[in-house]
Chain A
Amino acid sequence: MACVYIPVQNSEEEVRVALDQLPRDASDILDILKAEQAPLDLWLIIAREYFKQGKIEQFRQILEEGSSPEIDEYYADIRYERIAILNALGAYYTYLGKIETKQREKEEHFILATQYYNKASRIDMHEPSTWVGKGQLLLAKGEVEQASSAFKIVLEADRDNVPALLGQACVEFNRGRFSDSLELYKRALQVYPDCPGAVRIGIGLCRYKLGQFEKARRAFQRALQLDPENVEALVALAIMDLHANEASGIRKGMQKMQRAFEIYPYCAMALNYLANHFFFTGQHFLVEQLTETALAVTNHGPTKSHSYYNLARSYHSKGDYEKSGLYYMASVKEINKPHEFLFPYYGLGQVQLKLGDFRSALTNFEKVLEVYPDNCETLKSLGHIYVQLGQIEKGQEFLKKAAKIDSRDDQAFTDLAELLISSDTSAALEAFKTARTLMKKGGLEVPIEVLNNIGVLHFEKEEFEWAQQVFMEALGDGIWLTLLDNKVNIYAIDASASILQYKDMQLFRRLEEDGHSVELPWNKVTVLFNLARLLEQLNNTEAASILYRLILFKYPDYIDAYLRLAAISKARNNLQLSIELVNEALKVNGKYSNALSMLGDLELKNDDWVKAKETFRAASDATDGKDSYATLSLGNWNYYAALRNEKRAPKLEATHLEKAKELYTRVLIQHTSNLYAANGAGVVLAEKGHFDVSKDIFTQVQEAASGSVFLQMPDVWINLAHVYFAQGNFALAVKMYQNCLRKFHYNTDAQILLYLARTHYEAEQWQDCKKTLLRAIHLAPSNYTLRFDAGVAMQKFSASTLQKTKRTADEVRSTVAELENAVRVFSQLSAGSNLHLHGFDEKKINTHVEYCKHLLEAAKVHREAAEREEQQNRQRQEAARQVALAEEARRKAEEQKKYLLEKRKQEDEQKRVRQLEEHFERVKEQWKSSTSASKRRERTENDEEEGGHSEKRRKKGGKRRRKDKSSRSRYDSHEEADMMDDQEEQEDEDANMNYRETTHQMDDQDDAAGENAQDLLAAAGLEDSDAEDEMAAPSSAAARRRRALSESDDDEQPNPMRDNIDELHDSDGEVRDDNDKPNEDAGFDDD
């Protein structure tokens, strides 16, 4: 047992003091020491002993007593011991200051320590231990440079002074010159091989910093061997184990850390690491306790920062963003340079992002990025923030960079793709696909959302098969497979109840009864809906409807499914069912503007005008007028109303048009690129006659509308065609109508065919007009207006053919046939009107019938005339041939005569010759008379031609014609006017009928124009009637003349062949329907 002997003054005796039995009260010892005037080194020994035993108070008491002024006086000569006591006190206070966390007390301790050291210096300036102590103090205060100079002073005097060496090593370490520090430690160890483990720890730390981990580890282990309870060594080794990043290493590390904690529970480093560990194991309570302790025991910035970080992280993971934000903040505050400890910046950024403080988050993430410019997570976060801040491009840039850096990060690709969806669908699709491939490679299950997005993007790009595949992949296994397999068709539906087929849920109940589980996980609803939408696009509406119904069966509040079903039944023209379905949707949400808009649409289709307007209003109100569809619909409503008015009140029309225009404009202001509003505005402008402007608008809309699956605007094509038509550019109008028919309607739209026919009509292409109308009738057989128009077209064709100056017999014959058809069409309509099959006025149709019949009569005369003319041509040819034959005969006869001349006498010869000549002369005269007759006929024809020209000229020009007509009316003017009225009334009715069926925005204009056309038709037709009558008279006169002439011919030149031809022609007339040409040919052959 160690003990000290205090020599008793003035004697040889000594007081033996067992060091392990020092009295609790230091005063006892002090009394002895003072009384016996014990040497100062004894004081020190005893104080140190107290210190070792942890009796700090006693230690301080003794030392303070030992440094008191009395002692100084008494022991004035014993300088070294006095200095030692002072230094011990200085070291003690330095230590106190070092561990003190409160700034003010820390300062106080340091001040005391400084005072003691200064006192010591005053005793001896050159005492190295004082300098070492001062150095330590400066180190503790963080004044590294000054500490270094203090140590250097010592080392200059004695380069092997161990404490100074250690101090300097510490300085170098703090300066970051680890190799220098290592050298110093090594020297200290060489000088004093038995120095405590702390030196080895210093070596270990240097080595660690220098990256020599194995050597560092050995150093720590050595330190631990020397002192198994060396906390620093333990912690250091533990950290090294932890960083080894192996499961076993981590476990070992944690064990060591735990032991360190057990040995000394106030080592902040160990606490932090333990907290870190418990954070990962999820024991947040422990994390908090540990870090709080750590914070209490340390003043070291980085360590505190780490502790705060741990706390913040704990709160962060618990979702307490406010608190974690504060701690991250505290952690960041403890850090001087971001690159020392970046995590809290990142965490702070995350929390701020979460709390919506994008700007601050941005700065924090950017700090992280400065240190790690290639950190994917940070890049992604930054990308997101930029997107949130509306700087899409910058966001994309970051995400692209992130995806590029880590080409295996599916998340980066997913994010990037989501970002790209709105701007570049192709790129988005590519990114999604990459993400999917990466996830599959990584063995991860691809999230449904990603698959859904891929599917939708394929869908948008019209790659329907791909889209379907992806959707099916996303859906996986489920009841829908059974449904899509068409196996459910075994359940027949009662046909009388089938009107409700899109509301029918029985199917699923039956499936359930049959033991199928009809389940639909919530996260698959959207995919299923998209799949159904796709099937709809692929025209597999049946399957689509089943899927929609499945969604509704499980989620009756899924409004969009109702609306899609309504849309399907609307497409199938089942308006009643469609309205019911929309009403179901409205039951779920009465303010859902899409549903309201759809309802309005349906009501309009159902001819429920007032209701429709109310509904559109409601839709518009439901969105505070922001829903452009509702506004547009209201605009359309006004437009329709403007033209619908039965009485055609111009005032009302103007107000409605004005209102429509206003509404379209309002939409255009909200959405400058709304095609439909632009189209509507164009229509109103066209309605007002500004064709050039409207044409420009339509052309632009048409260009913009081309190139998207979801955007199909046939209306604008029609409108454009209407404008061309109105401007008289018929060829272009025809082309436009035809393109529209082919492109959008599979040539099935009778209405457009009607427009087309009207254009042909105006362009006077009668046959095209008729064919077009026949096609339209074929498509819409119950539209009797088309038949009427066809009749008019045929009538017009015939009239115009008869007006032609040069016409072949074939032409006239086809005219007659056409007129017969027209008569038939009109008489059928007339017969039908008795039964009120359609809304035509019987009187008007009868007028047409009468007129056509009348024309037919005239035409028949024409035909006869033409046929006769044809005959005559043949006769003429025949006559010419006869003459030729006669000539030949004469020549032969002359030869014969010459031959005879030789034989007979001169007189006889002369006589015969004269006789023959006389005969010849007669023949010649006959021939001449026939040619002069034909000349005469030509002249009359020319006259007719002139008349015809003037007729034609008169017919040019659109509306002017009506005026012309009134000024020109000299024939039946009264009747004509009456008929016009009838006609107009009729047209109005027609217009209304058409109008209800109408789907095109411009239809009304069409009706208006169509009406014009029909007015014109009527006008023209009746006009023709006078023209024809006019024509018929002279031509029949001419025919009579001709007849007379041919009769005279017949008399003089009987021709057996001609009768034959006549006969043939007659039979032609009878069987003309069957074989026309063959017979004629036969006639020629006979010739």
Chain B
Amino acid sequence: MKLAGLKSVENAHDESVWAATWVPATDTRPALLLTGSLDETVKLWRPDELELERTNTGHCLGVVSVAAHPSGVIAASAALDSFVRVFDVDTNATIATLEAPPSEVWQMQFDPKDRLNFGSTYAVCCMLKYETTYKEWKGTTLAVAGGGSASIKLWDTATWKLIASLSIPRPEGPKPSDKANSKKFVLSVAWSPDGRRLACGSMDGTISIFDVARAKFLHHLEGHSMPVRSLVYSPIDARVLFSASDDTHVHMYDAEGKTLVGAMSGHTSWVLSVDASPDGTGIATGSSDKTVRLWDLGMRAAVQTMSNHTDQVWGVSFRPPGGNGVLAGRLASVSDDKSISLYGYS
């Protein structure tokens, strides 16, 4: 398990880069890297040379998160102005603008569940035009971390209507004060790979697990007492959830059994982002301590530390497998230092 620096783009954005994700490959193009920045733009990059594919404007205030549909056809970006913009990856046409006031928008993720089905159906209809592919991503769901509303907002990707709002139950107390609420501010969200569960992380460090089908809160996962800024499920085990928190730790939970399987320490400052490798054997984290770390889950220890960034690393993302026979693993990291880095993962 190893990371090797491939390419870095200095000044990839005019300001801090705050979000990154991979848009999966389609038959017409390879997977692209999608980044969002404080400079209010969203950019698309073509690996491995990280050539700038396009710059999307249209957001006010900084872009805090980006998400890509598993089909690779559409993507969403969200900014501090609490708008979500859904757009077509290849044409940049705005498909929808979502907002659910007064709730803020923080992290987002598309439901990954029908991704495998999609692969096969897409193969059949790839000769058809845009209309057909459009149909393919109907019916899935976009989950958005709802900030101060202490809930996850679920949007239907066909109608772009708000279909559900999964709220964290209010703490039972004599008088729910204002402060208690701001502590439940939802920052991060993650789908389980089978699409049955949603996890969200809050400012006060609690992680809440929801049953998607019944739109029901299941339980909390405790162990953090500081903001949980990033969550990711293991791609190979739908029970295993990784959380990144300001308390410098990465926790590994059995999300169903409510157990803390392990705690990994090593970062010297906040852990801002976590992503699991497609093979499920490792995770990568980005931290305020300017480093990207690769953790071997077998050893439960950091096996590599990349320190090429000069400021906080806000996002790390593994490239999903697939595309024109591309097998090599890739990891991208983005930072406050305005740069993007690409690593080979093997």
Contact surface of A with B, Cβ cutoff 8 Å: 486, 489, 492-496, 498-499, 501, 539-543, 569, 571-575, 745-748, 771, 774-775, 777-778, 781-784, 790, 817, 820-821, 824-825, 828, 831-832, 834-839, 1073-1075
Residue B311 is within 8 A (CB to CB) of chain A in the complex: yes
Docked-complex contact A782 and B223, CB < 8 angstroms: no
Mark the stretch among B112-120, B132-140, B155-163, B255-263 that contacts chain A: B255-263
- Once the chains are docked, how many angstroms separate the CA of A821 from the CA of B267? 36
- Once the chains are docked, how many angstroms separate the CA of A825 from the CA of B61? 10
With a CB–CB cut-off of 8 A, which chain A residues contact B222? 495-496, 498-499
Docked-complex contact A835 and B266, CB < 8 angstroms: no
With a CB–CB cut-off of 8 A, which chain A residues contact B258? 494-496
With a CB–CB cut-off of 8 A, which chain B residues contact A495? 221-223, 253-254, 257-260
Chain B, residues 256-286, CB within 8 Å of chain A (1/0): the string is 0111111111111110000000000000000
Docked-complex contact A835 and B102, CB < 8 angstroms: yes
Mark the stretch among B4-12, B181-189, B193-201, B320-328 that contacts chain A: B181-189
A499-B265 contact, Cβ under 8 Å, with A486-B301, A824-B81? no
Docked-complex contact B221 and A572, CB < 8 angstroms: no
A782-B203 contact, Cβ under 8 Å, with A494-B258, A574-B225? yes
With a CB–CB cut-off of 8 A, which chain B residues contact A745? 269
With a CB–CB cut-off of 8 A, which chain A residues contact B311? 747
Docked-complex contact A837 and B205, CB < 8 angstroms: no
A499-B223 contact, Cβ under 8 Å, with A493-B259, A746-B288, A782-B148? yes
A746-B58 contact, Cβ under 8 Å, with A492-B261, A774-B38? no
Residue B230 is within 8 A (CB to CB) of chain A in the complex: no
Q: Which of B62, B223, B247 contacts A501 (CB 8 A)?
A: B223
CB proximity of A775 to chain B, nearest CB, Å: 7
Q: Which of B101, B187, B312 contacts A747 (CB 8 A)?
A: B312
The 7 A-B residue pairs with the shortest CB-CB distance in the complex, in nearest-first order: A831-B102, A782-B185, A572-B247, A746-B269, A573-B225, A746-B288, A498-B260
- Once the chains are docked, how many angstroms separate the CA of A746 from the CA of B289? 6
Docked-complex contact A828 and B101, CB < 8 angstroms: yes
- Once the chains are docked, how many angstroms separate the CA of A824 from the CA of B106? 17
Residue B18 is within 8 A (CB to CB) of chain A in the complex: yes
Docked-complex contact A781 and B187, CB < 8 angstroms: yes
Docked-complex contact A492 and B254, CB < 8 angstroms: yes
- Once the chains are docked, how many angstroms separate the CA of A571 from the CA of B268? 11
Docked-complex contact A486 and B300, CB < 8 angstroms: yes
- Once the chains are docked, how many angstroms separate the CA of A781 from the CA of B82? 12
Of the listed residues A489, A820, A831, the one surrounded by the most CB atoms of chain B closer than 10 A to its CB is A489
A sample of 30 inter-chain contacts (CB < 8 A) reads A486-B301, A492-B260, A492-B261, A494-B258, A495-B254, A498-B222, A569-B225, A572-B225, A573-B225, A573-B246, A746-B288, A746-B289, A747-B288, A748-B246, A774-B62, A774-B80, A778-B18, A778-B64, A778-B80, A781-B104, A781-B203, A783-B182, A784-B148, A817-B60, A820-B60, A824-B60, A828-B102, A836-B178, A837-B182, A1074-B57
CB proximity of B91 to chain A, nearest CB, Å: 13
- Once the chains are docked, how many angstroms separate the CA of A746 from the CA of B148? 26
- Once the chains are docked, how many angstroms separate the CA of A775 from the CA of B64? 10
CB proximity of A375 to chain B, nearest CB, Å: 52
CB proximity of A740 to chain B, nearest CB, Å: 14
Contact surface of B with A, Cβ cutoff 8 Å: 15-16, 18, 38, 57-58, 60-62, 64, 80-82, 101-102, 104, 106, 147-149, 178, 181-183, 185, 187, 203, 205, 221-226, 246-249, 253-254, 257-270, 287-290, 299-301, 311-312, 336
A573-B269 contact, Cβ under 8 Å, with A495-B221, A747-B311? no
With a CB–CB cut-off of 8 A, which chain B residues contact A784? 148, 182
With a CB–CB cut-off of 8 A, which chain B residues contact A498? 222-223, 259-260
With a CB–CB cut-off of 8 A, which chain B residues contact A817? 60
With a CB–CB cut-off of 8 A, which chain B residues contact A774? 38, 61-62, 80
Docked-complex contact B38 and A771, CB < 8 angstroms: yes
Docked-complex contact B148 and A542, CB < 8 angstroms: no
- Once the chains are docked, how many angstroms separate the CA of A837 from the CA of B287? 29
Question: From B81, which residue of chain A is reached at the shortest CB distance?
Answer: A824
Question: From A543, which residue of chain B is reached at the shortest CB distance?
Answer: B265
CB proximity of A96 to chain B, nearest CB, Å: 90
Q: A746-B312, A775-B38 are in contact. List 19 more A-B contacts (CB 8 A).
A: A489-B262, A493-B259, A494-B260, A495-B254, A542-B265, A572-B226, A573-B246, A746-B270, A746-B290, A771-B38, A778-B38, A778-B62, A781-B203, A782-B182, A831-B101, A831-B102, A837-B148, A837-B149, A837-B178
Docked-complex contact A771 and B15, CB < 8 angstroms: yes
- Once the chains are docked, how many angstroms separate the CA of A575 from the CA of B266? 21
CB proximity of B309 to chain A, nearest CB, Å: 12
With a CB–CB cut-off of 8 A, which chain A residues contact B182? 782-784, 837-838
With a CB–CB cut-off of 8 A, which chain B residues contact A494? 258-260
Docked-complex contact B80 and A777, CB < 8 angstroms: yes
With a CB–CB cut-off of 8 A, which chain B residues contact A790? 61
With a CB–CB cut-off of 8 A, which chain A residues contact B38? 771, 774-775, 778
With a CB–CB cut-off of 8 A, which chain B residues contact A492? 254, 259-262
With a CB–CB cut-off of 8 A, which chain B residues contact A539? 248, 265-268
Docked-complex contact B288 and A748, CB < 8 angstroms: yes
Docked-complex contact B178 and A747, CB < 8 angstroms: no
With a CB–CB cut-off of 8 A, which chain A residues contact B178? 836-839
With a CB–CB cut-off of 8 A, which chain B residues contact A1073? 57-58
CB proximity of B261 to chain A, nearest CB, Å: 5
CB proximity of A840 to chain B, nearest CB, Å: 10
With a CB–CB cut-off of 8 A, which chain A residues contact B254? 492, 495
With a CB–CB cut-off of 8 A, which chain B residues contact A781? 104, 106, 147, 185, 187, 203
Question: From A544, which residue of chain B is reached at the shortest CB distance?
Answer: B265
With a CB–CB cut-off of 8 A, which chain B residues contact A834? 102
With a CB–CB cut-off of 8 A, which chain B residues contact A832? 102, 148
CB proximity of B18 to chain A, nearest CB, Å: 6
Question: From A748, which residue of chain B is reached at the shortest CB distance?
Answer: B288
A571-B148 contact, Cβ under 8 Å, with A775-B16, A828-B82? no
Question: From A824, which residue of chain B is reached at the shortest CB distance?
Answer: B81
Docked-complex contact B266 and A540, CB < 8 angstroms: yes
Docked-complex contact B260 and A493, CB < 8 angstroms: yes
With a CB–CB cut-off of 8 A, which chain A residues contact B262? 489, 492
With a CB–CB cut-off of 8 A, which chain B residues contact A499? 222-223
A541-B248 contact, Cβ under 8 Å, with A771-B38, A831-B102, A837-B148? yes
- Once the chains are docked, how many angstroms separate the CA of A498 from the CA of B247? 15
Docked-complex contact B225 and A746, CB < 8 angstroms: no
Question: From B205, which residue of chain A is reached at the shortest CB distance?
Answer: A573
- Once the chains are docked, how many angstroms separate the CA of A836 from the CA of B221? 27
- Once the chains are docked, how many angstroms separate the CA of A1075 from the CA of B92? 12
With a CB–CB cut-off of 8 A, which chain A residues contact B299? 486
- Once the chains are docked, how many angstroms separate the CA of A1075 from the CA of B54? 14
Question: From B58, which residue of chain A is reached at the shortest CB distance?
Answer: A1073
CB proximity of A442 to chain B, nearest CB, Å: 38
Question: From B263, which residue of chain A is reached at the shortest CB distance?
Answer: A542
With a CB–CB cut-off of 8 A, which chain B residues contact A489? 261-262, 300
With a CB–CB cut-off of 8 A, which chain B residues contact A782? 147-148, 182-183, 185, 203
Docked-complex contact A748 and B60, CB < 8 angstroms: no
With a CB–CB cut-off of 8 A, which chain B residues contact A575? 225
Docked-complex contact B300 and A748, CB < 8 angstroms: no
